Chains A and B, each alone.
Chain A
Amino acid sequence: MKRSGDFIFLLIGLLLVWQGLHWLAGDIALTSPAQTFAHLGKLLATARFWEHVTETARAFSFAVLISLIGGVGLGALLGINRTSGTVSEPILIALYSLPKVTLYPLVLLCFGLGISAKVAFGAMHGLIPVAIFTMKAIMQIKPVFWRTAHAMRLTPRQMAMTVALPAVLPEVMSGARLGFSLTLLGVLIGEMFASQRGLGFMITAAMGLGDIATIMAVAVFLSIFAVGSNALLLMVDRAAPR
């Protein structure tokens, strides 16, 4: 109880800091929390806003599916063999810390303008961390587990379901959480550069108009969504039987 109380205090503190910054920077630079939430309320009532949300959600769900399935698949493929794991790990880490925005023109030239470029860009951001986490999880399964499974004469299917899967699940879940957030970021950045629809486009359009209220409202909307789904995934992760 005390902890959740502290958390509420922290949120109030953050809102106060925001309000303070608003007083410091003025109306044009930064809208106050009250104004932002009021504007967000107005936006939520319009059909146009929901069209943008649907567009982003569509691209995001494709991208997340590709990131998760592709990432787990690639990680499993590389992690199953010790040598392929050690060989590919630094390559994957180098790809992960690359500023992928740089490659945006390349993605556009390959996929053209539109939803496929957004999906590709989102998947580029999300797939690699999922693959890294999955690969490391598989490589770090204790050898004694395999020996036990052999001693019990488990079939490969049983081995996968009862030994490998439970052993890697926590790591894969944290990888999935990271992949989820990064895919969202990738899709949004993709929309900011080359799109006519979606929340990222809304922000770029508002940026051109100097419409700070809309920028802040969309940013707050996205932050609440991102933190909320992250908390949800964390809860699923904690509730999963070990």
Chain B
Amino acid sequence: MITREGWIRFGVVAALVAAFEAACRFGFIPRTVVIAPTEMVVSLWRLIESGEYNDDILSTLRNVLASSLLAVGLGFMTGVLIHALPRLRAAIEPLLASYYAIPTFMFYPVFIVVFGVGDRAIIAIAVLLSIVAMITSTLTGLDRIPRVLRKTARIYRMNLPARALLIDLPAAAPYLFTGIKLSFAYAFIGVIASEFILSGAGIGYSIAYTYNNFNNRNMYGLMLLVILVATIANTALDMIDRRLQTRLRR
């Protein structure tokens, strides 16, 4: 079921891509700068078919998955811990609020020295970037559990594990999901950016490598891949998130 806005949105995006294609084809944009979108698609298809970059693609996806899982798990636990200690929370909250002002990538070189060039340094920086989104979402989620549910739990004489599993977790779930969505987006950004700065494998590394070698065709194919994967994954998570949020309002 697609709404009227959905159709307009589709039309706008299609028109933009078509205008871009025309600008490239008629030479308004030189081929040395950008290749036409259709050429990007062809290039991406060839890349996947030849399997030349399969290892890099898999390595990036693996790192994104590992760092989002770590960020979600650790962030959730840290959030629960901070929620349980109100004094610590009062002190730490201003720091959490301005955390994203800190350019975290500046610390990437330090991780390289500690872990060496490789997956571990990349995962560390991606976790550092995405964990705070999960912590703040966990805090919001635990704050928003309706008091009446806690009272109900007491009437049923639930013990702590039962209450946490049957009452707290489902009640906080929509907020936790927002955290998962944000963690994934930030982890993706973190992994690709780290690979760009210094690494020996991955999609980010391959894009930087093809750029340095003037291999525009492969570079734009890989760029298209990143854009497609990120957009599809983030849009899917966003749609689930919206559905959960509407259920919350009901």
Contact = CB atoms under 8 A, between A and B. Distances in A.
Contacts of B148: none
A219 B106 contact: yes
A30 B230 CA distance: 34
A181 B100 contact: yes
Interface string B181-192: 000010011001
Interface string B68-100: 000000000000000000011011101101101
A99 B101 contact: no
A203 B106 contact: yes
Given A87-B12, A188-B105, A229-B101, A97 B234 contact: yes
Chain A interface mostly helix, strand, loop or mixed?
Answer: helix
Given A94-B235, A210-B113, A87 B102 contact: no
Interface size class of A (residues with CB under 8 A): 35 or more
Contact of B230 (A88, A97, A185): A97
Contacts of A218: 106
Interface string B31-60: 011100000000000000000000000000
Given A7-B91, A10-B95, A99-B193, A94 B234 contact: yes
Interface stretch (B19-27, B158-166, B196-204): B196-204
A223 interface: yes
A29 B110 contact: yes
Interface stretch (A68-76, A102-110, A147-155): A102-110
B34 A193 contact: no
B219 interface: yes
Contacts, number: 149
B112 interface: yes
A223 B33 contact: no
A10 B92 contact: yes
Given A215-B106, A227-B102, A105 B5 contact: no
Contacts of A192: 105, 197
A99 B226 contact: yes
A44 interface: no
Interface size class of B (residues with CB under 8 A): 35 or more
A230 B98 contact: yes
A45 interface: no
B90 A3 contact: yes
B107 interface: yes
B103 A93 contact: no
Contact of B8 (A87, A102, A177, A193): A87
A182 B198 CA distance: 21
B91 A223 contact: no
A27 B105 CA distance: 21
B230 A87 contact: no
Contact of A99 (B91, B106, B230): B230
B144 interface: no
Contacts of B188: 97, 99
A206 interface: yes
Interface of A: 3, 6-7, 9-10, 25, 28-30, 83, 86-88, 90-91, 93-94, 97-106, 108-110, 177-178, 180-182, 184-185, 188-189, 192-193, 203-204, 206-207, 210, 212, 215-216, 218-219, 222-223, 226-227, 229-231, 234
18 contacts: A83-B8, A87-B9, A90-B9, A90-B238, A98-B231, A99-B188, A102-B227, A109-B32, A110-B34, A178-B100, A181-B101, A185-B103, A188-B105, A207-B198, A215-B109, A219-B103, A226-B103, A231-B98
Give me the 9 closest cross-chain CB pairs, A-B, nearest first: A6-B91, A181-B101, A219-B106, A226-B101, A97-B185, A105-B211, A99-B192, A230-B98, A230-B101
Given A9-B91, A29-B110, 15 more contacts: A6-B87, A28-B113, A87-B5, A93-B234, A94-B231, A100-B189, A101-B192, A102-B223, A105-B223, A106-B33, A106-B223, A108-B211, A210-B113, A222-B102, A227-B102
